[in-house]
Amino acid sequence: MVTINCLRGVPKITYTSTPKITISKPVVSLFSKRASPLVAIVAAASFSSMSYDTELAAAKKAASLAARLCQKVQKALLQSDVQSKSDKSPVTVADYGSQALVSFVLERELPSESFSLVAEEDSGDLRKESGQETLQRITKLVNDTIANDGSFSVPTLTAADVLGAIDCGKSDGGSHGRHWVLDPIDGTKGFVRGDQYAIALALLDEGKVVLGVLACPNLPLASIGGDSRHSSDDEVGCLFFAKVGAGTYMQSLDGSSPIKVHVSTTENPEEASFFESFEAAHSSHDLSSSIANKLGVKAPPVRIDSQAKYGALSRGDGAIYLRFPHKGYREKIWDHAAGCIVVTEAGGVATDAAGNPLDFSKGRYLDLDTGIIVTNQKLMPSLLKAVRESLDEATSSL
């Protein structure tokens, strides 16, 4: 039996990668409003100078293995794979299996670090009598994926091991220490439909996103921009990864050589195309349409599920991503952390509707103004203006 231990307290922050840097408690104050601009610059530079190579390699391996598991399940999706949580969103065998596998891989690849994971799922439903059959299927899937990979020499995981791995995701994150942030299947509705989804994994260090990986098994390697044409022969399966200060790269999930990617450089809003959520329940399509009209955007929206939108945007498939959830919805950090750094390291900008940077240091939720907008630096001023005007009109019409 393999025992999986999770330390849910504040991790000890000692970095073993080169150059070796140990951060002590006073660093936390560097990000406070009382810190001088010079001190803040020095603090930000320290993150850029860190390597994070070991952590990035572990994250890529974890996300890639989770993608293999998800691909296997999606190809043979059975009705019994889909459960219903209390919030009515679908949860799949692959969702739980992906989280267990990522948790397992990160702890195996980074054994010297205290482990904190902020993730979407918990094992509550699987511990019930009605979840036992599903748990056994998840356990088999995880073990089969590990065995087929061949790089881990470990005993077969038990159902208890898998439950423990899933529940490693109960951390609340925050501004102190290191926290991995995971959405094991972002876009579960897309997954169930046989459409786009992503395994989204990021690392927070002192509240800042320092690396991110997006595994997008159904995203074509070629552009999905509005003018592109696709066939069933198009190669699919993309892995995007980014590290603070090092840019964003894309490779195939099969392991091709990475290529550096960059967001669209278009300056003319009329030439810009934009992404939005496939599901109208996830974002206001009417508001997005109003903003696009004010900008003079001519192309129709590209609607796809999941953080695959961030990956597509990072390589210039479109120029704008708009997300305006319905009133009362609170954004979770795992829905945006990996995608945010993938886009920003590719030269993009991600803010809330008021132009404030996204803050991932407040725990499991993002505190933000109204919605999320992502674009390149040249289009952001005109986009913010259109967003404010459209929001004002929407408010006055109530």
Q: Please count the structural domains in the chain.
A: 3
Express as a percent the part of the chain with pLDDT over 90. 64
Whether 55 has a pLDDT exceeding 90, the answer reads yes
How would you class 8 by CB atoms within 10 Å of its CB: exposed for 0-12, middle for 13-18, buried for 19 or more?
middle
Q: Tell me the pLDDT of the chain averaged across its residues.
A: 85
Whether 37 has a pLDDT exceeding 50, the answer reads no
Identify whether the C-beta of residue 307 lies closer than 8 Å to the C-beta of residue 186. yes
The answer on 390 and 350 residing in a single domain is yes
Q: What would the pLDDT profile of 264-274 be if each residue is shown by its tens digit?
A: 999 999 999 98
Tokens for 324? 């305006």
Fill in the amino acid letter for 32: S
pLDDT computed for residue 188 by the predictor: 86
Identify whether the C-beta of residue 340 lies closer than 8 Å to the C-beta of residue 310. yes
Q: What would the pLDDT profile of 126-163 be if each residue is shown by its tens digit?
A: 999 999 999 999 999 999 999 999 999 999 999 999 99
Identify whether the C-beta of residue 203 lies closer than 8 Å to the C-beta of residue 360. no
Distances (CA, A) of 98 to 4, 59, 115, 186: 16, 13, 17, 11
How would you class 370 by CB atoms within 10 Å of its CB: exposed for 0-12, middle for 13-18, buried for 19 or more?
middle
pLDDT computed for residue 75 by the predictor: 84
What band does 74 get if pLDDT is binned at 50, 70 and 90? confident
Cα–Cα distance for residue pair 302/7, rounded to 1 Å: 41
Specify the CATH number for the domain of residue 174: 3.30.540.10
Whether 65 has a pLDDT exceeding 60, the answer reads yes
Identify whether the C-beta of residue 372 lies closer than 8 Å to the C-beta of residue 331. yes
**Geometric angle at alpha carbon 48, from 45 and 54, rounded to 5°:** 145
Tokens for 230? 């696709």
The answer on 240 and 319 residing in a single domain is no
pLDDT computed for residue 349 by the predictor: 98
Express as a percent the part of the chain with pLDDT over 70. 80
Token pair 């993309």: residue: 238
Half-sphere exposure of 266 (CA within 13 A, CB side): 19
**19: cis peptide before it, omega within 30°?**
yes
Whether 320 has a pLDDT exceeding 60, the answer reads yes
pLDDT computed for residue 240 by the predictor: 98
Least confident residue range of 73-77, 294-298, 339-343:
73-77
Identify whether the C-beta of residue 387 lies closer than 8 Å to the C-beta of residue 353. yes
pLDDT computed for residue 83 by the predictor: 65
The answer on 196 and 242 residing in a single domain is yes
The answer on 281 and 370 residing in a single domain is yes
Question: What sign results for the dihedral spanned by CA atoms 81, 84, 88, 92?
Answer: negative
Q: Which residues are marked as active site?
A: 95, 188
The answer on 8 and 138 residing in a single domain is no
Specify the CATH number for the domain of residue 371: 3.40.190.80
Q: Which of 261, 287, 310 is the last residue of a domain?
A: 261
Span 56-64, average pLDDT: 98
Q: Which of 261, 293, 320 is the last residue of a domain?
A: 261
DSSP per residue over 172-229, as a string?
A: ---SSSEEEEEEEEE-HHHHHHT---EEEEEEEETTEEEEEEEEEEEEESS--STT--
The answer on 110 and 33 residing in a single domain is no
Q: What would the pLDDT profile of 339-349 be if each residue is shown by its tens digit?
A: 999 999 999 99
Q: Which of 226, 261, 296 is the last residue of a domain?
A: 261
Whether 39 has a pLDDT exceeding 90, the answer reads no
Identify whether the C-beta of residue 335 lies closer than 8 Å to the C-beta of residue 197. no
Q: Give the structural domain span for 14.
A: 1-49
The answer on 237 and 88 residing in a single domain is yes
The answer on 323 and 275 residing in a single domain is yes
The answer on 238 and 188 residing in a single domain is yes
Tell me which of 188 and 80 has the higher pLDDT.
188
Cα–Cα distance for residue pair 194/189, rounded to 1 Å: 9
Span 372-386, average pLDDT: 96
Tokens for 313? 């945007």
3-class SS at 156? coil
Q: Among 191, 199, 169, which Cα is nearest to 310's? A: 199
Cα–Cα distance for residue pair 345/240, rounded to 1 Å: 11
Whether 398 has a pLDDT exceeding 50, the answer reads yes
Identify whether the C-beta of residue 190 lies closer than 8 Å to the C-beta of residue 167. no
The answer on 236 and 126 residing in a single domain is yes
pLDDT computed for residue 171 by the predictor: 96
Q: What would the pLDDT profile of 166-204 be if each residue is shown by its tens digit?
A: 999 999 999 999 999 999 999 988 888 889 999 999 999
What band does 362 get if pLDDT is binned at 50, 70 and 90? very high
Least confident residue range of 109-118, 137-146, 224-233:
224-233
Least confident residue range of 42-51, 167-176, 212-221, 332-341:
42-51
pLDDT computed for residue 233 by the predictor: 65
E strands present in the chain? 82-84, 90-92, 117-119, 178-186, 198-205, 208-220, 236-243, 248-252, 259-261, 274-277, 302-304, 320-323, 348-352, 372-376
pLDDT computed for residue 21 by the predictor: 37
The answer on 301 and 249 residing in a single domain is no
The answer on 181 and 244 residing in a single domain is yes
Q: What would the pLDDT profile of 15-30 be if each residue is shown by its tens digit?
A: 334 333 333 333 333 3
Query: What pTM was computed for the model?
Result: 0.85
